[in-house]
Amino acid sequence: MAAPLAPAVKARHTSPAKPPGPSKLRRGQRRAAALFVTPFFVLFAAVMAAPIGYAVWMSLFQERSSGLGFGGTERVFSGLGNYTKALSDTGFRASFAHIALYCALYIPVMIGGSLVLALLVDSAMARAKRFFQLALFLPHAIPGLIASIIWIYLYTPGLSPVLDGIGALGGSWDFYSNDHVLSSMVNLCAWQWIGYNTVIFYAALQAVPRETIEAAVVDGAGALRTALQIKVPLIASAVVMTVLFTCVGAIQIFTEPKLLNQRGAPSVDTEWSPTLFIWKAGFVQHDYGLAAAASLLLALLGVILSYIVTRLGNRWKAAS
């Protein structure tokens, strides 16, 4: 994981407190700094850097059954063999197509929804702002697995008040059918994240100088124009950061398709998302080389996405 990630967010430089005193003080500070940061970086190396290094190592080897398929297997160096194997695997390729389609639907819905809700809460006309923020944020307090279970039950005929309501109106809907399962998944994730991002955008809107908004109003801009032309560009960086985190989260999607697959949604197979594919390769087929290569390809995609979104965001900010 190298540095093109330089995120839009940078901690401000503050000059560290410089002691006026002799070098003994400074030595004490160096020692303290070492004492404070060393434990974190030791653990960081153990649970983040080491697994990545180990994944790289594993991805370079393949298990070959020796001889005539009798006896054990041996590990042989295969260079980029696992990578070509992963990239030519139709299931792995399809999982990225699924994710792309999912993002094309999910990101506009979720980001658009959050932005609209944040602008609504921020508008002078909104009442009970604290209540609305809390109500919208609440799903985020619920673990993803439990959120998925709740919605799965709300999708289940016989259990679901939603389906009862649709039935009472004379309609019918199958949340698991091939045509609907993607929107069912998008809804499940949007429910968990829309309020969280609303609160983030609202917080960013609080930092927009009130004079700017008053000036726009005095110039005769209505609430809608003020929102779209003044407020949105000013919180562009928060939106870009959120899109970035959403993308990086979306390519890792696991729990939701896993549960939909368990429920027997016909078009969500056991390799529907890249993480499901990795899970299957590693824990079902015990092909660790393939699983490691697939993991690293996925991580690489995450880095590329971060980079693209950051670059776009910077250009967008420069233009506005």
Interface with another protein in residues 197-236 (CB under 8 A): 199-201, 203-204, 206-207, 217-220, 222-224, 227
Contact segment (CB under 8 A) with another protein among 62-70, 74-82, 96-104, 253-261 equals 253-261
Secondary structure (3-state) at 80: coil
Judge contact between 166 and 173, C-beta under 8 A. Answer: yes
Residue 299 interacting with another protein (CB under 8 A): yes
d(CA 54, CA 50): 6
- With respect to another protein, which residue has the nearer C-beta, 45 or 80? 45
Per-residue binding string, another protein, 103-142, x by CB under 8 A, is: -----xx--xx--xx--xx-x-xxx---xx-xxxxxxxxx
The C-alpha atoms of residue 164 and residue 107 are separated, in whole angstroms, by: 29
Tell me how far, at minimum, the Cβ of 188 lies from another protein, in Å. 10
Specify the residue, 102 or 191, whose C-beta has the smaller distance to another protein: 191
CB of 57 to another protein, least distance (A): 9
We find the least distance from the C-beta atom of residue 8 to another protein, in angstroms, to be 8
- By CB under 8 A, how many residues form the interface with another protein? 130
* Per CB under 8 A, 251 contacts another protein: yes
CB nearer to another protein: pick between 104 and 135: 135
Applying CB under 8 A, among 82, 95, 246, 306 the residue interacting with another protein is 306
Q: Which of 87, 248, 269, 316 binds another protein (CB under 8 A)?
A: 248
Which part of the chain contacts another protein (CB under 8 A), choosing from 61-69, 84-92, 96-104, 161-169? 161-169
For the CB of residue 76, give the shortest distance to another protein in the complex, in Å: 18
Angstrom distance (rounded) from CA 9 to CA 143:
27
Cα(295)–Cα(56) distance, integer angstroms: 9
3-state secondary structure of 92: helix
Minimum distance from residue 200 beta carbon to another protein (Å): 5
- Please state the φ and ψ torsions of residue 63, each to the nearest 5 degrees: -85, 130
Indicate whether 304 belongs to the interface with another protein (CB under 8 A): no
Q: 29 — phi, psi (to 5°)? A: -70, -40
Encoding tokens for residue 69? 């398929």
Q: Is 269 exposed, middle or buried (0-12, 13-18, 19+ CB in 10 A)?
A: middle
Question: What pairs with residue 64 in β-bridges?
Answer: 74
Site for another protein in 256-275 (CB under 8 A): 259, 262-264, 275
Of these, 72, 158, 170, 171, which contacts another protein (CB under 8 A)? 158
- Where helices occur in the chain by DSSP H, the ranges are 23-44, 50-59, 81-88, 90-122, 129-137, 144-154, 161-168, 181-206, 210-218, 223-225, 232-234, 236-250, 255-262, 274-279, 288-319
309 binds another protein (CB under 8 A): no
Q: How far apart are CA 45 and CA 40, in angstroms?
A: 9
Q: Which of 176, 288, 289, 313 binds another protein (CB under 8 A)?
A: 288
Q: Are 287 and 63 in contact (CB under 8 A)?
A: yes
Contacts of another protein in 18-77 (CB under 8 A): 19-21, 25, 28-37, 39-41, 43-44, 46-48, 50-52, 54-55, 58
Residues 72-101 that bind another protein (CB under 8 A): none
